[in-house]
A and B are shown apart, each in its own frame.
Chain A
């Protein structure tokens, strides 16, 4: 354990992250990049961009509360130290996605009401399930919920958004690229540290697996609402972008061309990818993936 945790020192984090892939960026992107004019000026595209970004802010706020809340519950200094770096990573994500909302025209005065208005209620519930474990000082469940389930979901969502944005919105794609690099580190810690704790406390498996099933339920419900519940607006935004020549020509991600896929197909590829990752990562730490009931 000591060897792997030494890879997560503050010294290494400083060299890798702020002095590494974030060097010369402003709010996570090259200083000269801006949101595309069409996105800012077209009301439909702007609203869809705000809706998407609000979900990212909600997820990152949850991650900030969870990672900071777990520091005190961590059983050793190396884990505290890693969670300290994660706390600042998550705060940076909150900051850069909040900044994107401002770039899209949201004002400081209506920031909270915009978030309340667009936040997916299932995603809010997903966060509540995790934060309940954090509040009770349950380190094992908290890290599995945060670094395997939440981060595993965020990782795939960011990758998918990055694939769609690369051609048409380099600013957003760059912002996502830095967060993906962070999330990769976080997921790695969760797998390594919790694997040994689960082996020491096999009696905790059932409770942690129940939490995973509950969080997975709310995650799938979030995806369902984001793609199918909002399909008309998504299609409209896509047609406008295509008519203006501002949509991606192709954006292939896990074998699906996101530029042409239906909302159902996009939901399916995202859900399949995230669930596949969950099964692999949970298996590595000695937990069995639990299927949730299908969302209504």
Chain B
């Protein structure tokens, strides 16, 4: 059974290790590969709440219910937006492929009563106005970056590897990222994103996590844009793993019918 490459950053940061390689011998790339290749189950459903907070402290709330399924070659994800009112009923579906084929994406807009295929060439777009880009929420393959173990340090009492990742694609939206990874669990703890000029752009912090069906799931995370003083808090609730979500959930029929 192939591991589920769940496409939300909340899950990316939840991997449990279970590896026997001695920690001292690990390179930066090996650490990131362990993060990427974590076992996480076959499917997942959850409710996601995003709180967008601007520099004046003004809050906006986005809510959705999401379902994920991975058959080993195709990971399918469907999201149903439930709030705010003007986007309620909108659904978004993404199919991503383990062979590197570009994602397929569709959106259903209830006002138009139409499913539209949309370009997946928008990884740099911000997701629903949050501080997360689609790429931040995606499943970035370790081979896309050059990784270097910078040091080991303790963050809030947790011993961490600190790994720098520099993209091989010079046009990528970030010049580098630095990730703090729990040495015991290979779960991400914190991540810094640097812009094209090399300046710190965003910091992501894991705020809380839970053990669900034997898998640690991060249930609250904060992304702060240091340059614009925005931040987004993502919270997961009602998380279910391996509940047997059928493939028929990820169809045109369900996009139009809703949750």
Do A and B form a real pair? Answer: no
Which chain A residues have a beta carbon within 8 Å of chain B's beta carbons? Answer: none
Instruction: Show the binding face of B for A, using Cβ within 8 Å.
Output: none
